[in-house]
Amino acid sequence: MDDIFTQVREGNAFNVRVWLDNTENDLNKGDDHRFSLLHWAAREGRDNIVDMLIKRGARINATNMGDDTPIHLAAAHGHRDVTLMLLHNKANVNAINEHGNTPLHYACFWGYDQIAEDLVNNGALVSVANKCDDVPLDKCKPYMAKMLKDRAIALGQDLSKIPFKDRSWLGYKTRSRDAVLSRYTGIDIKELQLVGHIAKTHSGETWRGSWQGNDIVAKILSMAVVTDRNIRDFKEEFPKLRIFNHPNVLAVLGCCAPKDPPDLVVISQFMPFGSLFNTLHGESGIVVDQNQALRFAIDIARGMEFLHSMEPMIPNFILTSKHVMIDEDLAKINVDDPKYTSGDATLNGVTCLCTVLIPLILGAPVVSSTKSIHSGHPIPQSDPVIDEDLTAKINMADYRFSFHEKGKLFSPAWCSPEALQKSPGDINVRASDMWSFAILLWELETREVPFAELEAMEIGMKVALEGLRLSIPPGISSHMSRLMRICMNEEPGKRPRFDMVIPILEKMKLSG
Amino acid sequence: MGQMSQWGSSKFSNAPLCPPSTKLSELQEEGKNAIESPTSPTLPDIGPEGYQLAENEERSMIEPSSRENPKLIELVQILLDWINDELADHRIIVKDIEEDLFDGQILQKLIEKLCKVRVEAMEVTQSEIGQKQKLRVVLDYINHILGVPPLWSQHKWSVDSVHSKNLVAILHLLVALARHFDAPIRLPENVVVTLLVIQKVDNTLVTRTVPEEITGGHDDIDGRGERDAFDTLFDHAPDKLNVVKKTLLTFVNKHLMKLNLEVTDLDNQFHDGVFLIMLMGLLEGYFTPLYQFHVTPTTHEHRVHNVKFAFQLMEDAELARPKARPEDIVHQDLKSTLRVLYHIFTKYKSGPGSQGIPM
Is residue A365 predicted with pLDDT exceeding 60? no
The more confident residue out of A184 and A225 is A225
Q: Measured between alpha carbons, how far is A266 from A302 in angstroms, rounded to an integer?
A: 24
Query: Closest residue of B to A457, CA-based?
Result: B287
Q: Is the pLDDT of residue A363 over 50?
A: no
Q: Which of A443, A505, A484, A442 is nearest to A298 (CA)?
A: A505
pLDDT of residue B164: 84
DSSP helix, strand, coil percent of chain A (3-state; round to 5): 45, 10, 45
The answer to whether the Cβ–Cβ distance between A421 and B318 falls below 8 Å is no
Most A-contacting residue of B87, B258, B286, B314 (CB-CB within 10 A), to test interface: B286
Question: What backbone torsions phi and psi does residue A395 show, to the nearest 5 degrees?
Answer: -90, 105
Whether the pTM exceeds 0.80: the reply is: no
Q: How far is CA B328 from the centre of its chain?
A: 14
Check residue B153 and give its pLDDT: 64
A contact test, residue of B112, B287, B319 with most A CBs within 10 A: B287
Q: How much of chain B is in helix, strand and coil states, percent to nearest 5?
A: 55, 5, 35
**Between A204 and B181, where is the model more confident?**
A204
For residues A334 and A345, what is the distance between their CA atoms, to the nearest angstrom?
13
- The reply to whether residue B89 touches residue A229, judged by beta carbons under 8 angstroms, is yes
What part of A 464-503 touches B (C-beta under 8 Å)? Answer: 464-465
A230 to B89: CB separation less than 8 angstroms, yes or no: yes
Higher-confidence residue: A388 or A139? A139
What residue in A sits closest to B109 (Cα-Cα)? A228
Q: What is the pLDDT of residue A445?
A: 94
Instruction: Assign B227 a pLDDT band (cuts: 50, 70, 90).
Output: low
Cis peptide before A261 (omega within 30 of 0): yes
Query: Which chain A residues contact residue B291 at CB under 8 A?
Result: 421-423, 426
| Nearest residue in B to A417, CA atom | B289
Q: Strands A204-211, A193-201: parallel, antiparallel or unpaired by DSSP?
A: antiparallel
pLDDT digits (tens, 9 = 90+) for B275-290: 999 999 999 999 999 9
Task: State CA B6 to chain mean position distance.
Answer: 39
Q: DSSP characters for B143-178?
A: HHHHT--HHHHHHH--HHHHHTT-HHHHHHHHHHHH
Q: What is the pLDDT of residue A492?
A: 95
Strands A377-378 and B58-62: unpaired
The mean pLDDT of chain A is: 83
Collect all residues from B whose CB is shorter than 8 A from any CB in A.
89-91, 116, 258-259, 278, 281-282, 284-292, 309, 312-313, 315-316, 318
Q: Searching chain B, which residue's CA lies closest to the CA of residue A414?
A: B287
Lowest mean pLDDT among A419-428, A458-467, B334-343, B348-357: B348-357
- Residue B56: per-residue pLDDT: 74
Q: In angstroms, what separates the C-alpha of A421 from chain B's closest C-alpha? A: 5
Count the Cβ atoms, other than its own, within 10 Å of residue A231.
16
- How many A-B residue pairs are in contact by the CB < 8 A criterion? 80
Q: Are A71 and A86 a contacting pair, CB within 8 Å?
A: yes
In chain B, residues with a C-beta closer than 8 Å to the C-beta of A221 are: none
Mean pLDDT, range B121-146, rounded to an integer: 83
Provide mean pLDDT across the span A229-238: 88
- Report pLDDT for A257: 85
Average pLDDT over residues B228-234: 75
**Which one of B285, B291, B313 has the shortest CB-CB distance to A410?**
B285
Whether residues A460 and B281 touch (CB distance < 8 A) is answered with yes
Contact A229 B291 (CB under 8 A): no
Site from A408, A410, A421, A423 to mutate, B interface, most B CB atoms within 10 angstroms: A408
Count helices and strands (H / E) in chain A.
21, 10
Closest-CA distance of chain A to residue B150, Å: 31
* A39 min Cα distance to partner chain B (Å): 48
CA B138 to chain A, closest CA, distance in angstroms equals 19
Distance CA A316, CA B100 (A): 36
SS (H, E, C) A344-365: CCCCCCHHHHHHHHHHHHCCCC
pLDDT over 70 (residue B272): yes
Which residue in B has a C-alpha nearest to residue A201's C-alpha?
A: B285
Q: Which pLDDT tens digit goes with each residue over A20-66?
A: 988 888 888 888 888 999 999 999 999 999 999 998 888 888 888 88
Instruction: Flag if B116 and A225 touch (Cβ within 8 Å).
Output: yes
C-alpha dihedral sign at B67, B73, B75, B79: positive
Percent of chain A with pLDDT over 70: 84
- CA of B293 vs chain A CAs: smallest distance (Å): 9
pLDDT in tens, A373-410: 333 333 333 333 345 678 999 999 999 998 998 889 99
C-alpha to C-alpha distance for A481 and A369, rounded to whole angstroms: 32
Instruction: With cut-offs at 50, 70 and 90, classify the pLDDT of residue A442.
Output: very high
**Residue A288 one-letter amino acid:** V
In tens, the pLDDT along B290-306 reads 999 999 999 999 999 99
- Gap between the Cα atoms of B266 and B276, Å rounded: 11
Eight-state DSSP code of residue B28:
H
Reported confidence tier of residue B27, pLDDT bands at 50, 70, 90: low
pLDDT reported for residue A374: 36
Whether B194 has a pLDDT exceeding 80, the answer reads yes
- Per-residue pLDDT, A185: 62
Q: Does A224 touch chain B (CB under 8 A)?
A: yes
- Percentage of chain A surpassing pLDDT 90? 48
- Tell me the chain A residues in contact with residue B287 when contact means C-beta distances shorter than 8 Å: 408-410, 412, 420, 456-457, 459-461
Q: How close is the nearest chain A Cα to the Cα of B101, in Å?
A: 21
Cβ neighbours of residue B327 closer than 8 Å, sequence gap 6 or more = B304
Calculate mean pLDDT across residues A191-206.
85
Confidence of residue A229 (pLDDT cuts 50, 70, 90): confident
Contact B291 A423 (CB under 8 A): yes
Give dist(CA B252, CA B256) in Å, integer. Answer: 6
B234 Cβ contact list (under 8 Å, min separation 6): B241, B335
Give me the pLDDT at residue A14, please. 92
| A461/B contact by beta carbon, under 8 A | yes
Determine whether the interchain pair A423/B281 forms a contact, defined as Cβ–Cβ distance below 8 Å. Answer: no
- A423 to chain B: closest CA residue: B291
Q: Mean pLDDT throughout B194-210?
A: 81
Q: Which residues make Cβ contacts (< 8 Å) with residue B14, sequence separation at least 6?
A: none
State the pLDDT at residue A370.
Answer: 36
User: Rounded CA gap, A254 and A268, in Å?
Assistant: 7
Mean pLDDT, to the nearest integer, of A56-84? 91
- Determine whether the interchain pair A457/B287 forms a contact, defined as Cβ–Cβ distance below 8 Å: yes
Comparing A387 with A300, the larger pLDDT belongs to A300
Q: Give the percent of chain B with pLDDT over 70.
A: 77
Residue type, position A214, single letter: N
Q: In terms of CA atoms, which chain A residue is nearest residue B317?
A: A224
Supply the DSSP symbol for A330.
Answer: G
Place A119 in a pLDDT band, splitting at 50, 70 and 90: very high
- Interface pTM, i.e. ipTM: 0.70
A407 with B258: Cβ contact below 8 A: no
Cα–Cα nearest to A81, from A41, A126, A109: A41
pLDDT score of B317: 87
DSSP states of A482-507 as a string? HHHHHHT-SSGGGSPPHHHHHHHHHH
Q: Which residues of B touch A461 (CB under 8 A)?
A: 259, 278, 287
Most confident of A48-57, A194-203, B350-359: A48-57
Residue B30 confidence (pLDDT)? 63
User: What is the tens place of the pLDDT at every residue in B48-75?
Assistant: 455 567 777 777 778 888 888 888 888 8
* Cα of B262 to nearest chain A Cα, Å: 14
**CA of B282 vs chain A CAs: smallest distance (Å):** 6
CA distance A437 to A483: 11
Three-state secondary-structure class, residue A288 = coil
**Which residues sit opposite A394 in a β-bridge?**
A249, A324
pLDDT band at A1 (very low <50, low <70, confident <90, very high): very low
| Minimum distance, in Å, between the CA of residue B284 and any CA atom of chain A | 9
Closest CB to B289: pick one of A227, A420, A455: A420
- In three-state form (DSSP H/G/I as H, E/B as E, the rest C), the secondary structure along B226-284 is CCCHHHHHHHHCHHHHHHHHHHHHHHHHHHHHHHCCCCCCCCCCCCCCHHHHHHHHHHH
Closest by Cβ to A421, choosing from B90, B278, B290: B290
Q: How many whole angstroms separate alpha carbon A359 and alpha carbon B334?
A: 66
pLDDT for residue A359 is more than 70: no
Min distance A436 CA to chain B CA atoms (Å):
16
Asked if pLDDT for residue A438 goes beyond 90, the answer is: yes
Task: Using CB atoms within 10 Å of the CB of residue A28, give its burial: 0 to 12 exposed, 13 to 18 middle, 19+ buried.
Answer: buried
Q: Average pLDDT in the A106-117 region? A: 93
